A and B are shown apart, each in its own frame.
Chain A
Amino acid sequence: MNDQFPEILPRLESYNTMRTWRERFGRYLLQGSRCKSCGSLWFPRRDELNCPKCKGMELEPYRCSRLGTIDVVQVENMGYPIMGYGETAPRLICTIRLDDGITVISELVDAEKDELVPGARVRMVLRKHKREETGAWMYGYMFALCRE
């Protein structure tokens, strides 16, 4: 809003903050679910959903491994940066096989493109994403190269 256009402008790409808040444990802690019946692990969380494997509904919170290995990397050069992420383009997007067998999609940070190749070891970090509807910054997981 500003003086010239005091009305609230619709933003089709925005979501209610409640929707972001509901997933805070997944986004901050990489928290998924473990099935109490069959032990299978899931991300995103599946609490109060059915377990795809045993079809039960007894799932408990599970902190996914924060270490993993890059499977594939994509340099985002498509010309369509997502709203709120255009300033950081080109971004590096990848799929990561976590040490516990779960696979996640994430942006890779703190490394050069040449370092982030399939097979490279990465660790979860918490980073700034984009602004929410309220103007507050949204934070969430990304992955960075393991340097030991």
Chain B
Amino acid sequence: MTKRTFPKVYLASAAVSPPARSVSHLTWRQFIAQAAQAALDRAGLSVKDVDIGAISYNERTITEGALGCVAADAIGMIPRPFVSISQACCGGGLCTDVVWNYIASGRYKAGIVLGISKPDNFDFRDAMGPIGNYTEYDYMLGFSHENYGALRSESYKKRFGYGEEAAAAWAKQCYWYGRRNDSALRKLDPSDEELMADDTAGYRLRTATGRNLASCLILVSEEVVEERKLPRLLLDVSYRTRPPYLGNHYDYAGHEAFADADPATQPGLRLAAEETLARACVTPSDIQLAQVHDLSPFEGMEALEGMGIIPVGSGGKFAMEGGTGLGGRCPTNTDGGAISYGHSSAGGDFSSKIYENYLQLLGEAGERQVANARVAAAQAYGSHHSMEVCSILQRENG
């Protein structure tokens, strides 16, 4: 590994809310306060120790106009600064990047990153369905972000010659992990026949399931790590953008990195990963496990490829040969992923992955523990790969 030249920011602790499809007895404020307290307790910190906060949310489910002050009020942080970010499923990553930069700058020593997904504030379809990437030309013409995902999957299958057996292999491994994770929402053990079914039920088994979630990450400076004798878990994060309209994911003329791309490849993630890995002084071959945003299995495969962990186009083969399993080259979505753990969008599609990597690096992942885990990647996208965030969490000094 090369010598690090970037500032260091550490993950002091992380927490997520318990599994529940409905938490209708809780307000979203109560929901985030519980996750925040759990993370602070775990780090031996108090909210008094936190200087800066950020919260990720979906504006369709949380309709307060200025969320930062409401979140700060909920966890007793008034009058300290609190940023609110709505950037779909990767919002937690952007919040992490914001707080990371505040701490890296030396302005603050400890920050809190919250995520909230509360679709039970509205009917789920009202809350999560009517979201466009470029609304006048997708949602208003009858296409949802689920169509984007399905078209992307078809593009991957066509370009690299895979069928649903690759998706089934990926999903089967996710369910294997999920059955060993108390926090997973969908603990199923579907048969190969059920996973391969060419109908709506089969499709839903192979793709993500939605859930409520509140998540919390605590980021601190090296000074706080030493003072509090916290685990030295070094965190790095970066993100990039890509055009929002899916048609412009083909041969986009606006940037040379995207010129020959199509929906089957992830050039935005590649750029984000290059920056993250350079900061973290690691290479793709150093990554021992990964948590990726798999609303469909093929998107999960594209994510591993985009981060350089496996060659472009090899994801289906990798899944079918067991590469994502515990004994594989890169155990992937060891929390069960969006397919089994659940898809919580702004609530935790990034932060719950960091939570899983946190458990793995501390050796607390139980039956799904990756042996001697030291370097773990996490990825999430928002607005259907129009925002890509990538992070590396690593144990410093062994």
* Smallest beta-carbon distance B224→chain A, Å: 42
Per-residue interface assignment for chain B, residues 197 to 215, with 1 indicating a CB less than 8 Å from any chain A CB and 0 otherwise: 0011001100100000000
Given the complex, which residues of A lie within 8 Å of B60, measured CB to CB? 12
Complex alpha-carbon distance, A50 and B249, angstroms? 18
When the two chains form their complex, are residues B125 and A80 in contact, meaning their CB atoms are under 8 A apart? yes
* Smallest beta-carbon distance B165→chain A, Å: 18
Check: A65 CB closer than 8 A to any chain B CB. Answer: no
Q: How large is the interface on B (under 10, 10 to 19, 20 to 34, 35 or more residues)?
A: 35 or more
When the two chains form their complex, are residues A13 and B126 in contact, meaning their CB atoms are under 8 A apart? yes
Complex alpha-carbon distance, A103 and B204, angstroms? 28
When the two chains form their complex, are residues B129 and A104 in contact, meaning their CB atoms are under 8 A apart? no
When the two chains form their complex, are residues A23 and B150 in contact, meaning their CB atoms are under 8 A apart? no
When the two chains form their complex, are residues A77 and B144 in contact, meaning their CB atoms are under 8 A apart? no
**Which residue from chain A places its CB closest to the CB of B152 in the assembled complex?**
A72
* Beta-carbon contacts under 8 Å, A48-84 to B: 52-53, 71-74, 76-80, 82-84
Q: A53-B253, A82-B143, A140-B141 are in contact. Are A72 and B158 (CB under 8 A)?
A: yes
Can you give 28 A-B contacts (C-beta < 8 A)? A12-B127, A20-B140, A23-B140, A40-B253, A43-B137, A44-B136, A52-B243, A52-B253, A72-B154, A73-B154, A74-B147, A76-B147, A76-B150, A77-B203, A78-B147, A78-B203, A78-B207, A79-B204, A80-B129, A82-B142, A93-B147, A94-B151, A95-B151, A95-B263, A103-B251, A104-B247, A105-B151, A105-B246
* Beta-carbon contacts under 8 Å, B132-149 to A: 134-144, 146-147
When the two chains form their complex, are residues B136 and A79 in contact, meaning their CB atoms are under 8 A apart? no
When the two chains form their complex, are residues B130 and A43 in contact, meaning their CB atoms are under 8 A apart? no
Checking B154, B158, B247, B249 against A102 with a beta-carbon cut-off of 8 angstroms, the contacting residue is B247
* Smallest beta-carbon distance B171→chain A, Å: 15
* Smallest beta-carbon distance B207→chain A, Å: 8
**Which residue from chain B places its CB closest to the CB of A102 in the assembled complex?**
B247
Check: A137 CB closer than 8 A to any chain B CB. Answer: no
Given the complex, which residues of A lie within 8 Å of B130, measured CB to CB? 12-13, 82-83
Given the complex, which residues of B lie within 8 Å of A107, measured CB to CB? 141-142
Complex alpha-carbon distance, A20 and B243, angstroms? 21
Given the complex, which residues of A lie within 8 Å of B263, measured CB to CB? 95
Complex alpha-carbon distance, A141 and B344, angstroms? 34
**Which residue from chain B places its CB closest to the CB of A93 in the assembled complex?**
B147
* Beta-carbon contacts under 8 Å, B100-156 to A: 122, 125-127, 129-130, 134-144, 146-147, 150-151, 154-155
Number of A-B contacts (CB under 8 A): 119
Checking B122, B136, B146 against A80 with a beta-carbon cut-off of 8 angstroms, the contacting residue is B146
* Beta-carbon contacts under 8 Å, B187-229 to A: 199-200, 203-204, 207
Check: B245 CB closer than 8 A to any chain A CB. Answer: yes
**Which residue from chain A places its CB closest to the CB of B244 in the assembled complex?**
A44
Residues of A at the B interface (CB closer than 8 Å) are 12-13, 15, 19-20, 22-23, 26-27, 40, 42-44, 52-53, 71-74, 76-80, 82-85, 91, 93-95, 97, 101-107, 118, 129-130, 140
Given the complex, which residues of A lie within 8 Å of B154, measured CB to CB? 72-74
* Smallest beta-carbon distance B300→chain A, Å: 18
* Smallest beta-carbon distance B391→chain A, Å: 27
Given the complex, which residues of B lie within 8 Å of A44, measured CB to CB? 134, 136-137, 245
Complex alpha-carbon distance, A97 and B246, angstroms? 12
Check: B37 CB closer than 8 A to any chain A CB. Answer: no
Complex alpha-carbon distance, A129 and B204, angstroms? 26
Check: B252 CB closer than 8 A to any chain A CB. Answer: yes
When the two chains form their complex, are residues A79 and B253 in contact, meaning their CB atoms are under 8 A apart? no
Complex alpha-carbon distance, A23 and B125, angstroms? 25
When the two chains form their complex, are residues A72 and B250 in contact, meaning their CB atoms are under 8 A apart? no
Ranked 8 nearest A-B pairs via Cβ:
A52-B254, A103-B247, A72-B154, A103-B250, A13-B130, A74-B150, A12-B126, A53-B253
Given the complex, which residues of A lie within 8 Å of B246, measured CB to CB? 95, 103, 105
Complex alpha-carbon distance, A76 and B60, angstroms? 24
Complex alpha-carbon distance, A16 and B286, angstroms? 51
When the two chains form their complex, are residues A52 and B252 in contact, meaning their CB atoms are under 8 A apart? yes
Checking A82, A93, A140 against B129 with a beta-carbon cut-off of 8 angstroms, the contacting residue is A82
Check: B283 CB closer than 8 A to any chain A CB. Answer: no
When the two chains form their complex, are residues B147 and A43 in contact, meaning their CB atoms are under 8 A apart? no
Of listed B134, B138, B249, B254, residue having the most chain A CB within 10 A: B254
* Smallest beta-carbon distance A124→chain B, Å: 13
When the two chains form their complex, are residues A84 and B142 in contact, meaning their CB atoms are under 8 A apart? yes
Complex alpha-carbon distance, A27 and B151, angstroms? 21
Of listed A26, A44, A52, A95, residue having the most chain B CB within 10 A: A95
Complex alpha-carbon distance, A15 and B130, angstroms? 10
Checking A74, A77, A82, A84 against B151 with a beta-carbon cut-off of 8 angstroms, the contacting residue is A74
When the two chains form their complex, are residues A80 and B141 in contact, meaning their CB atoms are under 8 A apart? no
Checking B134, B158, B204 against A118 with a beta-carbon cut-off of 8 angstroms, the contacting residue is B158
Given contacts A94-B151, A95-B246, 12 further A-B contacts (CB under 8 A): A19-B140, A20-B136, A22-B136, A71-B158, A72-B155, A79-B204, A80-B146, A82-B143, A97-B250, A105-B147, A106-B141, A130-B142
* Smallest beta-carbon distance B292→chain A, Å: 21
Check: B183 CB closer than 8 A to any chain A CB. Answer: no
